[in-house]
Amino acid sequence: MKYPSAPKREHLGLFLAILGLILLCPLRSEAYAGPGAGFAVLSSFWTLFIAFLYSVYAFLTWPFRHLLRSLRRRKAYGKAQIKRAVILGFDGMDPELAARFIAEGKLPNLAKLQEQGSFRKLRTTFPAISPVAWSTFMTGVNPGKHNIYDFLGRDLKNYLPFLSSAEIRAPKRNFKIGKYTIPLGKPVIKGMRRGTPFWHWLGKSGIFCSVIRVPVTFPPEKFPGVLLSGMCVPDLKGSQGTFCLCTTRQSCDKFREGGVRVPIQRNGSALHSYIPGPEDPLAGNSGGELRVDFEIRPDNGKNQARMTVDSEKFNLKVGEYSPWVPVKFKAGLGFSARGICRFYLKELSPEVEVYVTPVNIDPGRPDLPISHPVTYSIYLAKLFGPYATLGLAEDTWALNEEVLDDGAFLTQCYANHQDRERMLFDALDKTRQGLCACVFDTTDRVQHMFWRYLEEDHPAARGVPHAERPKVIEDLYSRMDGLIGRVMKQIDEETLLLIVSDHGFKSFARCVNLNAWLHQNGYLALKSGKTESGDWFEDVDWSRTRAYTMGLNGLYLNVKGREGEGIVPAGSDGEALKQELRTKLNGLVDPASGRVGITGVFDCDAIYAGPYVDNAPDLIVGYGEGFRASWDSVMGKVTGQIFEDNLKAWSGDHCVDPRLVPGVLFSNRKIAEEKPGIVDVAPTILKLFGLELPAHFDGKPLTVSTEPAG
Amino acid sequence: MLVVLISIVIGFLMVVVFRYTSDQKAIRIAKDQLKAHLLAVRLFQDQLPVVLSSYGRIVRGTGRYLQLAFRPLLFVIFPLTLLVVQLDRYLGWTGLPTGEPFLIKAQAADSDVLNTIDLRLPPGLETTAPAVHVPTENAIVWRVVAHEPGNYNVNVGPSEKAFSKRVSVSHGLERISPVRLRGGFWERMLLSAEPALPTDSPIRSIEVGYPSRSIPFIGFEWNWIWLFFVLSLLAGFLFKSMLGIEI
């Protein structure tokens, strides 16, 4: 959104002349010149009045607050070695690529950090998945203590998946009036991540923190600071992102994941469609989806369409995104859900196709809390305009399903990125002492979707000549380097700058359906007559199944007394089965390529420690470079083939053997340790601010030079 | 009732004019940014430099918003002012009551002519006291009483060159001109409803002391301007919500 430039001077002059005429020389009847002046004067007076009242309050309470703050700060900053810590999280920034581009002279700012400060590979978590690694980053503990092992967890009763980071439940009680079921109370939102983020410790000590879009911070927790939730914030449907393709094309095909197809109806010169929204909260168990209708009036001559969505009207050219459009899903009896979405006009002739982003929670009027305090998301929306709030805001599914092309996807990514940059620089401005942490997801999403162009023979880009391969990832790293350069200009010598990534990246060229392997090797059984299963183990015979997998890296035993239909006795039998699986899977070779598809299988009892180990998978599977769990295997589906090509745009990944994908750690100060881990970041920050380290921390504080670099 | 109706109609017209003569997007942004700076004061309250810079931004933002909000005013100020002035002729004063004295004041160009000026009244009006000269103001004041309702013309001035001034004695809604002026286009436009006195006239103005009109509304006596102010604002805020107009 463009903000208007400063007013012209001649307008100001005219304005002042007339204002003076009216207000300075008022005669009886012209002292009030109608509601226009009344609105202006009243509104601005009201603003100033509120500001004035708050000033008085702030002035009167200032001595007390100052005293309290001084005491707290003296305590907090008394032993601090730094005034401010700025942590830029670049999800998935790969150390090998960074080193390569630095060597090629393409990342001057990272090169400067490497030269004057430090550049290290950062040991990641088991598994190397963002919610797991960022949870460890913020809590300083292993997954056994923070309870996040994957995006998905499994319901032990029925083997169905659930989002591991947060649980949203409808209010338990309701009452019926006619056809309506009125919920009594608000939805229950429960965070599943355990452990205490290190900014809570800082905040309690009087050190102010601004935390922006760090993954697994939904629901936002209360602490003395401001926080905008990141990855795992749902869309308005409650999913992790459901796009919508409105089309005049007749098709019964369903998208594999992440999207729905909605018909566009022709009605004279206008076309009508709708955006599917959340379930009707008043419909009770009978279901029913709320919708927002919209109209498209094509103007083929101009290659654009006039869009009408609720009260919003705008023109949209083919190949262009709309700004964020507010939408209101009305449920009756005054109940409604508000969101924002963007429209992308794909095609106008001969068919009409409009892509609609997942409906994001409106940050200016959030129906669910997405920040702490709630007003922080509102503040950012008022300051910069609406912005993406969905955890996985970059619509990788739409590109995977070929609903968006490369260019449209990148436009979306960098629009979100630009919003995030604005938030970061505002946070830097507002946090002149304390912690400012901001995570950028663009690095992860773009590498996932464009790795295919890095490799000569990636199945998803076979046939694309070398000369036609866009240098998207190189450009991505260059942009991030530019951002780092601008941040470096904003910070002083007393500020510690850390560039952190949760993991690196590798190719995802071959899929491994581990459920298929388990099936073919007699560990997983299908119901009689079945050779494949549907999603989420639809045709699995649990009474004969000893092991199964779902999600990205976890392998589970079907343990008796733990799983709903478990058969493997816990104890020595289970241990023996684990060892057997480890032995057989470790070094599993892809017959087509002759390469090792699995380079390590890790026993969770050995790699995790903590009160939540029971919720962990039994084994973590470390795929070899170029391999990853297949799309079907992730969704608990058993297919005939164990290995197959990955033909999707999602062509790079990190859900492999964690030893292969360390993240990066750049710093503007020298760091002594050669092999730091992401688990060490939290204790390092606490130590630099002079705080005592909690005893339960698994990470160790790094030895950071107290002298500014350079 | 008339004031209520006028206020609602003008409130409606004003928001419509505001909608089409203002930069709605810029106003929305200016208001949003003001709100953001107010929120910043609360969110970052313990950081004095942030709070102070937010105050500065609030003041600047208010100026920006006022500027944007007054732009539509430029389009309506003249027609609306004229309309309000004309309404004021009807609603600002009541006609003179019978049997109660009122003042007629003539202001001369200079003190030399004061002694030559007298007041000639038509039947139905009569003076109740001798004229009072106020040399420091170059003015003469007469106290007059009306015996019958009606519109009268009184003549004021030297015997060879008197000037008339309309006097309304009535209980109803009349177009009332409280003063007749010699010059000053804007002053005459805003205050008078009668032709100008000649520029060479020895008299600068003739003023009749009409009582102000009070309008009873929800248990209070209102000057019509204040009632119009409140009601047109309320109507404006109501219509702007209904029509989705950013003010």
Dist CA B39 CA B50 (whole Å): 11
Interchain pair B228, A48: CB under 8 A: no
Chain B interface, best mutation among A16, A23, A202, A379, by max B CB count within 10 A? A379
Which chain A positions have a beta carbon within 8 Å of B36's beta carbon?
379-380, 382-383
pTM: 0.85
Question: In which band, very low, low, confident or very high, does the pLDDT at A2 lie, cut at 50, 70 and 90?
Answer: very low
Identify whether residues A259 and A346 lie together within a single domain: yes
Identify whether residues A563 and A462 lie together within a single domain: no
Three-state secondary structure call for residue A223: coil
- Give the ipTM of the model, two decimals please: 0.86
Average pLDDT over residues B202-231: 90
Token reading at A150: 């994957």
Q: What are the Cα distances from residue A639, in Å, to A518, A523, A547?
A: 11, 14, 15
pLDDT for A30 equals 42
How many angstroms separate the CA of residue A179 from the nearest CA in chain B? 29
Q: Which of A54-58, A251-255, A603-607, B47-51 has the highest mean pLDDT?
A: A603-607
How many angstroms separate the CA of residue A36 from the nearest CA in chain B? 6
Complete domains list, chain B, with CATH: 2-92+215-243 (no CATH), 102-208 (2.60.40)
Question: In which band, very low, low, confident or very high, does the pLDDT at A73 lie, cut at 50, 70 and 90?
Answer: low
| B14 near A CB under 8 A | yes
Interchain pair A37, B73: CB under 8 A: yes
Nearest to A375 among B43, B84, B92 (CB): B43
Which chain A positions have a beta carbon within 8 Å of B70's beta carbon?
15, 18-19, 36-37, 40
Identify whether residues A526 and A484 lie together within a single domain: no
Nearest to A602 by CA among A555, A643, A654: A555
Q: Which residue of A has its CA nearest to B246?
A: A39
Interchain pair B85, A429: CB under 8 A: no
Dist CA A517 CA A511 (whole Å): 12
Identify whether residues A598 and A537 lie together within a single domain: yes
Mean pLDDT, chain B, whole residue set: 89
For chain B, the 3-state helix, strand and coil shares in percent, each to the nearest 5, are: 50, 25, 30
Question: In which band, very low, low, confident or very high, does the pLDDT at A1 lie, cut at 50, 70 and 90?
Answer: very low
pLDDT for B78 equals 79
Residues 52-91 of B with CB under 8 A from A: 55, 58-59, 61-62, 64-74, 76-77, 80-81, 84-85, 87-88
Dist CA A317 CA A378 (whole Å): 30
Helices A9-24 and B48-91: angle between axes, nearest 10 degrees = 50
Q: What are the Cα distances from residue B225, in Å, to B62, B82, B153, B172, B193?
A: 26, 14, 28, 19, 18
Dist CA A354 CA A244 (whole Å): 8
How many angstroms separate the CA of residue A342 from the nearest CA in chain B? 18
Interchain pair B36, A22: CB under 8 A: no
Residues 211-230 of B with CB under 8 A from A: 225, 228-229
Residue A695 lies in a domain: yes
Please check the confidence at residue A621 and state whether its pLDDT lies above 50: yes
Question: In which band, very low, low, confident or very high, does the pLDDT at A16 lie, cut at 50, 70 and 90?
Answer: very low
Question: In which band, very low, low, confident or very high, does the pLDDT at A22 lie, cut at 50, 70 and 90?
Answer: very low
Residue A31 lies in a domain: no
Beta strands (DSSP E) in chain B are 102-108, 118-120, 125-127, 132-134, 139-146, 150-157, 163-169, 179-181, 203-208, 215-217, 220-222
Identify whether residues A627 and A525 lie together within a single domain: yes
Token reading at B110: 């200079």
Total of domains in chain A: 3
Please check the confidence at residue A26 and state whether its pLDDT lies above 90: no
Nearest to A208 among B46, B64, B80 (CB): B46
- Of the CA atoms within 13 Å of residue A222, those in its CB half-sphere come to 0
Residue A351 lies in a domain: yes
Q: Which residue of B has its CA nearest to A45?
A: B62
Compute how many other C-beta atoms are within 10 angstroms of the C-beta atom of residue A465: 6
pLDDT for B79 equals 82
How many angstroms separate the CA of residue B73 from the nearest CA in chain A? 6
pLDDT for A20 equals 47
pLDDT for B246 equals 81
pLDDT for A415 equals 98
Interchain pair B191, A28: CB under 8 A: yes
Nearest to A379 among B36, B73, B88 (CB): B36
Question: In which band, very low, low, confident or very high, does the pLDDT at B161 lie, cut at 50, 70 and 90?
Answer: confident
Share of chain A above pLDDT 70, in %: 90
Question: In which band, very low, low, confident or very high, does the pLDDT at A59 lie, cut at 50, 70 and 90?
Answer: low
Nearest to B45 among A19, A47, A58 (CB): A58
Beta bridge partners of A665: A120, A500
Identify whether residues A209 and A272 lie together within a single domain: no
pLDDT for A471 equals 95
Average pLDDT over residues A237-261: 87
Average pLDDT over residues A621-641: 96
Q: Which of A471-485, B102-116, B202-216 has the highest mean pLDDT?
A: A471-485
Which chain B positions have a beta carbon within 8 Å of A19's beta carbon?
70
Please check the confidence at residue B160 and state whether its pLDDT lies above 90: no
DSSP for A542-609 reads GGG--EEE-SSSEEEE-BTTTSTT--BPTTHHHHHHHHHHHHHHTT-B-TTT--BSEEEEEEHHHH--
Token reading at B151: 């519109």
Token reading at A467: 């000369």
Identify whether residues A668 and A652 lie together within a single domain: no
- Of the CA atoms within 13 Å of residue A563, those in its CB half-sphere come to 26
Please check the confidence at residue B51 and state whether its pLDDT lies above 70: yes
pLDDT for A23 equals 42
Residue A60 lies in a domain: no
State the greatest distance between any 2 C-alpha atoms of chain A, in Å, as a whole number: 97
pLDDT for A710 equals 56
A295-323 residue pLDDT tens: 999 998 999 999 999 889 999 999 999 99
* CATH code for position A491: 3.40.720.10
DSSP for B131-146 reads -EEEGGGTEEEEEEEE
A85-116 residue pLDDT tens: 999 999 999 999 999 999 999 999 999 999 99
Q: How far apart are the first and last CA of chain B?
A: 27
Residue A670 lies in a domain: yes
Q: Which residue of B has its CA nearest to A21?
A: B77
Do A27 and B189 touch, CB atoms closer than 8 A? Answer: no
Nearest to A39 among B58, B62, B247 (CB): B247
Identify whether residues A341 and A266 lie together within a single domain: yes
How many angstroms separate the CA of residue B132 from the nearest CA in chain A? 27
B125-146 residue pLDDT tens: 999 999 999 989 999 999 999 9
b/e A277-312 (16+ beta carbons within 10 angstroms → b): bbbbbbbbeeeeebbbebebebeeeeebbebbbeee
Identify whether residues A311 and A427 lie together within a single domain: no
Residue A185 lies in a domain: no
Which chain A positions have a beta carbon within 8 Å of B73's beta carbon?
18, 33-34, 36-37, 40
A404-439 residue pLDDT tens: 999 999 999 999 999 999 999 999 999 999 999 999
Identify whether residues A535 and A600 lie together within a single domain: yes
pLDDT for A423 equals 98
State which residues form the domain around A427: 84-148+193-233+391-505+661-710
Dist CA B71 CA A8 (whole Å): 12
Contacts of A214 (CB under 8 A, 6+ apart): A89, A134, A137, A138, A197, A227, A230, A437, A438, A439
Which chain A positions have a beta carbon within 8 Å of B67's beta carbon?
7, 11-12, 15
Q: Which residue of B has its CA nearest to A35?
A: B233
Identify whether residues A214 and A107 lie together within a single domain: yes
Residue A691 lies in a domain: yes
A570-581 residue pLDDT tens: 999 999 999 999
Average pLDDT over residues A287-297: 91
Dist CA A43 CA A51 (whole Å): 12
Nearest to A646 by CA among A477, A506, A497: A506
Do A123 and A503 touch, CB atoms closer than 8 A? Answer: no
Mean pLDDT, chain A, whole residue set: 90
Share of chain A above pLDDT 90, in %: 78
How many angstroms separate the CA of residue B122 from the nearest CA in chain A? 31
Residue A377 lies in a domain: no
Which chain A positions have a beta carbon within 8 Å of B45's beta carbon?
58, 65
User: Higher confidence at residue A50 or residue A235?
Assistant: A235
A185-225 residue pLDDT tens: 777 889 999 999 999 999 999 999 999 999 999 999 999 99
Contacts of A1 (CB under 8 A, 6+ apart): A323, A384, A385, B29
Identify whether residues A582 and A514 lie together within a single domain: yes
Interchain pair A44, B50: CB under 8 A: no
| B99 near A CB under 8 A | no
